[in-house]
Amino acid sequence: MNGLVKRGDDWDSVDSMMMSTFSIVILGVVMAVAVTSALGQLMQRYTYYGATDYRDLEADGTLKWTYLVDDPPHMPWVTAHLFNKGPGLALVSINSPDGFTPLNKGDSLEANFSGADRRIEVIYYRCNPGEHASVRAEGKY
């Protein structure tokens, strides 16, 4: 024989066993990544940093929005306090451009999304045509 060893049935069973073990290891890694990702999302949902973000929103007759994660600090809010400084009526909505809440001058709106599946990511705002209002938005993240 020229130094070569012929593989026999014993080696075929070892290959099969190694492939089975390798498959189980890969499956375990995939499951660990899935669990870690789900746990990370759950932790983010309940994590509260205690910092405050302030935004001044100038409303007029057109629909406007501020997407909170686009600008620093790039975090959705857990709670929001919206205060209409006037002079006109402001219409505000959180996370949806439907179902606006009217705020007269001096009125405020409190929203608490702690423990919710989705945080406050977008604030939609507008006024009636021909009016304008300044809305102070304060959010905790």
pLDDT in tens, 45-78: 556 778 999 999 999 999 999 999 888 888 899 9
Same structural domain for residues 33 and 59? no
Q: What is the pLDDT of residue 83?
A: 98
Same structural domain for residues 88 and 69? yes
- Weakest-pLDDT range from 46-60, 75-89, 96-110: 46-60
Same structural domain for residues 62 and 128? yes
What percent of the chain clears pLDDT 70, i.e. is strictly above it? Answer: 69
The mean predicted confidence, pLDDT, of the chain is 84
- DSSP assignment of 49-115 equals ---EEEEEEEE-SS-EEEETTTSTT---BSEEEEEEEEES-EEEEESSSSSPEEE-TT-EEEEE-TT
Same structural domain for residues 121 and 108? yes
Same structural domain for residues 6 and 34? yes
User: 17 lies in which domain range?
Assistant: 1-47
More confident site: 32 or 112:
112
pLDDT in tens, 20-48: 676 677 766 666 665 566 666 666 555 67
Same structural domain for residues 42 and 59? no
